[in-house]
Amino acid sequence: MIAIVGAGKMGEALLAGFLGTGYTPADVLVTESRREHAQDLWERFGVESVDVATAARRADTLVLAVKPQDMVALLNELSGVVDSRHLVISVAAGVTTDVLEKHLGGEVAVVRAMPNTPALRGVGMTALAAGTHATAEALDRTERLLRTVGDVVRVQERHMDTVTAISGSGPAYIYFVAETMVEAGVAMGMPRDIAQHLVSQTITGAAEMLRESGEHPVMLREAVTSPGGTTAAALRELERDGVRAAFTNAIEAAGNRSRQLSEG
Ligand SMILES: NC(=O)C1=CN([C@@H]2O[C@H](COP(=O)(O)OP(=O)(O)OC[C@H]3O[C@@H](n4cnc5c(N)ncnc54)[C@H](OP(=O)(O)O)[C@@H]3O)[C@@H](O)[C@H]2O)C=CC1
Ligand SMILES: O=C(O)[C@@H]1CCC=N1
């Protein structure tokens, strides 16, 4: 039995992903203290909401999806309730396995994971790093669980802040680009629904080519850029306006914020 502790945006994306890919509502519990949201989750997914102690009693796998700022309080609540029979998977940005282990106490198997919201559609990207008490079997179990909602890579924990900045936050950057493209189309006189269709299929197609070809993106970009053409005109503006530097700074800021969150 799996319990998702914290049924916010990410918790719910994982819940929907698990239920869409083989798990049944009987396999999953959520801890949701807001009555209305618990009722809503019951109506939409058929999953039961319980308190944290009940979740720990009934589930052997706990997926902690509360905000980093709420994590220590939750760990203290779980301390003494979870033990070496449990697998605790935290998806919180910045919260290290050291912090998770310290507050849980004992020899609990802990895995730090960084998924992203496309898990909702089974196309998520998750990176994993194991704590000191997580056996190879615990890590395999975590990987099997998260593979149901997308791709999984294992990384050294020192890379987790970078993972968070790239694939954890990444969907938001793509939506930002998508939003900009749609609104530019609208500003140029196109109906919004057609602009959105053009943009979403273009992003899907470009992503598919990037994934399938394994080529460096610069090669794929060059194939679009006809000499003296429209793409060259657009890219010149992006370079002139410092978009590359702004993007790099943005990703570094996300990584720095993740590191900052680990300081509490
Ligand atoms: N959103 C994303 O794309 C990603 C998020 N994450 C991580 O997932 C975590 C959640 O983020 P996100 O879903 O965006 O945030 P949300 O605020 O949407 O979700 C957090 C949820 O946890 C609930 N909660 C807080 N404390 C407890 C508790 N003690 N017991 C049970 N539930 C509790 C909150 O309830 P209430 O609102 O009532 O306080 C809320 O529903 C964060 O740690 C974030 O770093 C990781 C990868 C991607
Ligand atoms: O914005 C955040 O802090 C979380 C972590 C990665 C994506 N969302």
pLDDT, tens digit (0-9, with 9 covering 90-100), for 74-90: 999 999 899 999 999 99
Q: Are the CB atoms for 50 and 31 separated by under 8 Å?
A: yes
Question: Any residues with CB less than 8 A from the CB of 209 and at least 6 apart, and which?
Answer: 215, 220
* SS3 readout for the chain: CEEEECCCHHHHHHHHHHHHCCCCHHHEEEECCCHHHHHHHHHHHCCEECCHHHHHHHCCEEEECCCHHHHHHHHHHHECCECCCCEEEECCCCCCHHHHHHHHCCCCEEEEEECCHHHHHCCEEEEEEECCCCCHHHHHHHHHHHHCCEEEEECCHHHHHHHHHHHHCHHHHHHHHHHHHHHHHHHCCCCHHHHHHHHHHHHHHHHHHHHHHCCCHHHHHHHHCCCCCHHHHHHHHHHHCCHHHHHHHHHHHHHHHHHHHCCC
Q: Which of 129, 140, 127 is nearest to 99 (CA)?
A: 129
| pLDDT at residue number 263 | 78
| pLDDT at residue number 32 | 86
Ligand 2 in contact with 258 (CB < 6 A)?
Answer: no
pLDDT, tens digit (0-9, with 9 covering 90-100), for 237-260: 999 999 999 999 999 999 999 999
Residues of the chain with pLDDT under 50: none
pLDDT, tens digit (0-9, with 9 covering 90-100), for 41-68: 999 999 999 999 999 999 999 999 999 9
Ligand 1 in contact with 258 (CB < 6 A)?
Answer: no
Question: Any residues with CB less than 8 A from the CB of 192 and at least 6 apart, and which?
Answer: 182, 185, 186
Q: Are the CB atoms for 97 and 122 separated by under 8 Å?
A: no
Residue nearest to atom 43 of ligand 1 (CA): 92
> What is the Å distance from ligand 2's center to 45 Cα?
24
What are phi and psi for residue 33, nearest 5 degrees? -80, -25
Ligand 2 in contact with 255 (CB < 6 A)?
Answer: no
> What is the Å distance from ligand 1's center to 71 Cα?
9
| pLDDT at residue number 22 | 81
ipTM of the complex: 0.97
| CB-count exposure of residue 163 (10 Å: 0-12, 13-18, 19+) | buried
Whole-number CA gyration radius for the chain: 21
Question: Which bound ligand lies closest to the C-alpha atom of 49?
Answer: 1
Ligand 1 atom with the shortest distance to the CA of 52: 30
Ligand 1 in contact with 6 (CB < 6 A)?
Answer: yes
Q: Are the CB atoms for 60 and 89 separated by under 8 Å?
A: no
| pLDDT at residue number 34 | 87
Of 5, 10, 112, the residue with max ligand 1 atoms within 8 A of its CB, to mutate for a pocket test, comes to 10
| pLDDT at residue number 262 | 81
| pLDDT at residue number 208 | 97
Question: What is the residue type of 139?
Answer: L
Q: Are the CB atoms for 104 and 133 separated by under 8 Å?
A: no
Q: Pairing between strand 48-49 and 109-114?
A: unpaired
